[in-house]
Amino acid sequence: MSRKITIEPVTRVEGHGKVTIHIDHEGNVTQTRLHIVEFRGFERFIQGRPYWEAPVLVERLCGICPVSHHLAAAKALDVIVGAGTGEGLTPTGEKMRRLMHYGQFFQSHALHFFHLASPDLLFGIDADPAIRNVIGVALKHKDLAVQGVLMRKFGQEIIKATAGKKIHGTGAIPGGINKNLSIEERDSFLKGPDPLNADKMVEWASGALDFFKTFHKGHKELIDNFSKFPSSHLSLVRKDGAMDLYHGVLRAIDSQGRKILNDVDYQEYTQYINEEVRPWSYMKFPYLTHLGETDGWYRVGPLARLNTCDFIPTPLAQKEFELFRAYTNGKPNNMCMHYHWARLIETLHAAEMIRQLLHDPDLHGNNLVTIGKKQKEGVGLIEAPRGTLFHHYRINDNDQIEMANLIVSTTNNNEPMNRAVNCVATSMMTGKKEITEGMMNAVEVAIRAYDPCLSCATHALGNMPLEISLYDQNNSLIDRKSK
């Protein structure tokens, strides 16, 4: 008797997706797929809009990381209005955007770790689904939940001060920014009422890392071996190889650490990146053109960034980075669950960057916008919390957008997430008579490590269900289980 298992919706991720797993009559897993089931059509319906609307239109792809789309679009439009490719803005323009961006990293990573992922660690992968959620965390680990909530709040307040509102703000405009930071705003973040100040956020981010490292010591098998496989890694890095989440050159390494994309200018990204279309998902499959569809796929996001960069330019995060690197003897880290470790190191880096930027008087400058000679086309890349994000626009003589191409962070992780699903399903379900809820959640745990934003990826978002259907050899349905 062959079976098909469907997980729908996948939950505690951002977006609509579903997983199908086919098992033959001998109990072998024959096919696994993560389907992205939503389609928006952004690339087409944005055509004809005036180009300056793009930053506020495209951020509505995603309510979790709107700042990433807002800034990636603004960076592409900087090129179009002649403000250069990332280095041409006024100091106030660039630093306000950076502050917004690090505020968003801080809130998004806190949300993922505390609200979405921590229940699997705190209660266990096969715990009762009724308590395996943020409410369960709040009831059992109140201090941790309060910290998570307040860390996210601090990041959201930074976004509000730089972008005008917490979700779908309007701060970045082509060539710069539309407001500076007032002294009062700065003081509220530096000396705000305890605990909502920058020093406390650095302290709490360090605390979250300690929590993870302690958990790691007690659960080595899960954290080190769950769903691991070798892969290439891609991210932006600063020209000197430092981690830079806002701007840089494009670097990729293979699973051994050899450079396969050597710090190239991302304005030329179409020379290096292509996307494959597969009929069973609305999410495309990007790959490095010179390596081809089969071998050219790569991972993005926190794990990839810690593998590609040479150092982190803030002291506390750099110390943590050295420990992280030492764990794999300096070789690329290919352990799926180490995404969580990498994400928390970045959370600490974001807190340090926020604190450092808040002491910079440039934030209060009045020179906000740069305008130069108009171009017809521009590319904007940024490291979003979930990985490298590509925005590419072309305009016509009437200032209308005539072409838009977006490759969002989660889309870059499409192939790795599918491999993660396959890896977990094969190891846990092969030969098993009964498929348990815990096994199905394990598949989701592997997906959750990537913190996918399927909203973005389909140029959409919602929840992933999990449903398992049993089919016989003639493909007729004989049983169905869902969670």
Partner 1 sequence: MSKPIVATASLAGCFGCHMSILDIDERILPLIDLVEFNKSPIDDIKEFTKTCDIGIIEGGCCNSENVHVLKEFRKHCKILISLGECAIMGGLPALRNGIPIGECLKEAYLEGPTVKNNVHKILPNDSELPMLLDRVYPCHEIVKIDYFLPGCPPRADLIWDALVALITGKEMKLPYEVIKFD
Residues 216-275 that bind partner 1 (CB under 8 A): 269-270, 273-275
Nearest Cα neighbor of 458 from 72, 37, 9, 175 is 37
Q: Structure tokens of 352?
A: 């340090």
Q: Are strands 232-237 and 298-299 parallel, antiparallel or unpaired?
A: parallel
Are 68 and 104 contacting, i.e. CB atoms less than 8 angstroms apart?
yes
Backbone phi, then psi, for 307, in 5-degree steps?
Answer: -85, -35
Of 3, 5, 12, 189, the one binding partner 1 by CB under 8 A: 12
Q: Are 2 and 474 in contact (CB under 8 A)?
A: no
Which of 193, 218, 230, 279 forms a contact with partner 1 (CB under 8 A)? 279
CA distance 21 to 19: 7
Quick one: which of 2, 3, 5, 8 contacts partner 1 (CB under 8 A)?
8
Which range in 13-21, 94-102, 172-180, 202-210 contacts partner 1 by CB under 8 A? 13-21
Enter the tokens of residue 328: 């794999």
158 or 309: CB nearest partner 1: 158
Distance of closest approach, residue 218 Cβ to partner 1, in angstroms = 23
Q: How far is the CB of 249 from partner 1 (least distance, A)?
A: 19
Residue 167 beta carbon to partner 1: minimum distance, rounded to whole angstroms: 5
DSSP 53-76: GHHHHHGGG-SSSHHHHHHHHHHH
- Segment contacting partner 1 (CB under 8 A): 7-15, 79-87, 241-249, 351-359? 7-15
Query: Under rule CB under 8 A, how many of the chain's residues touch partner 1?
Result: 83
* Shortest separation between residue 149's beta carbon and partner 1, angstroms: 6
Specify the stretch interacting with partner 1 by CB under 8 A; choose among 3-11, 216-224, 236-244, 414-422.
Answer: 3-11
Asked if 318 touches partner 1 (CB under 8 A), the answer is: no
| Longest CA–CA separation in the chain, Å | 71
Q: With respect to partner 1, which residue has the nearer C-beta, 245 or 453? A: 453
Nearer to partner 1, 75 or 216 (CB): 75
Tell me how far, at minimum, the Cβ of 133 lies from partner 1, in Å.
4
Asked if 474 is part of the footprint of partner 1 (rule: CB under 8 A), the reply reads no
Q: Name which of residues 22 to 41 contact partner 1 (CB under 8 A).
A: 33, 35, 37-41
Residues 66-105 that bind partner 1 (CB under 8 A): 66
Report CA dihedral (232, 410, 336, 324) to the nearest 10 degrees: 70
Contacts of 352 (CB under 8 A, 6+ apart): 202, 314, 315, 316, 317
SS3 readout for 15-30: CCEEEEEEECCCCCEE
Q: Give the residue from 475, 441, 474, 371 showing the smallest Cα distance to 7.
A: 441
**Rounded least distance, CB 56 to partner 1, Å:** 9
Burial class (CB within 10 angstroms; exposed 0-12, middle 13-18, buried 19+) of 363: buried
Q: How far is the CB of 236 from partner 1 (least distance, A)?
A: 17
332 secondary structure, DSSP code: P
**277 is a site residue for partner 1 (CB under 8 A):** yes
Secondary structure of 208-256 in HEC code, one letter for each residue: HHHHHHHHHHHCHHHHHHCCCCCCEEEEEECCCCECCCCCCEEEEECCC
Binding segment (CB under 8 A) for partner 1, from list 145-153, 183-191, 231-239, 305-313: 145-153
Of 133, 328, 375, 427, the residue at the interface with partner 1 (CB under 8 A) is 133
**Least distance in Å: CB of 43 to partner 1?**
5
> For residues 439-458, which are near partner 1 according to CB under 8 A?
441, 455
| 156 lies in the binding site for partner 1 (CB under 8 A) | yes
Identify which of residues 160 and 364 has a Cβ nearer to partner 1 in the complex.
160
Question: Using CB under 8 A, which of the segments 129-137, 183-191, 255-263, 353-361 binds partner 1?
Answer: 129-137
Q: How far is the CB of 227 from partner 1 (least distance, A)?
A: 19
Q: Taking CB under 8 A as the criterion, which residues in 371-400 touch partner 1? A: 392
CB of 192 to partner 1, least distance (A): 14
Applying the rule CB under 8 A, the residues between 159 and 218 that interact with partner 1 are 165-168
Going along 283-375, which residue ranges are E strands?
Answer: 285-288, 298-299
Contact yes or no for 392/277 (Cβ under 8 A)? no
CB of 376 to partner 1, least distance (A): 14
Q: Report if residue 481 touches partner 1, rule: CB under 8 A.
A: no
CB of 116 vs partner 1, minimal distance in Å: 8
- Residue 256: exposed, middle, or buried by beta-carbon count in 10 A (0-12, 13-18, 19+)? exposed
Q: What string marks each residue from 404 to 423 as x (binds partner 1 by CB under 8 A) or -?
A: -x-x----------------
CB count in 10 Å sphere of residue 194: 8
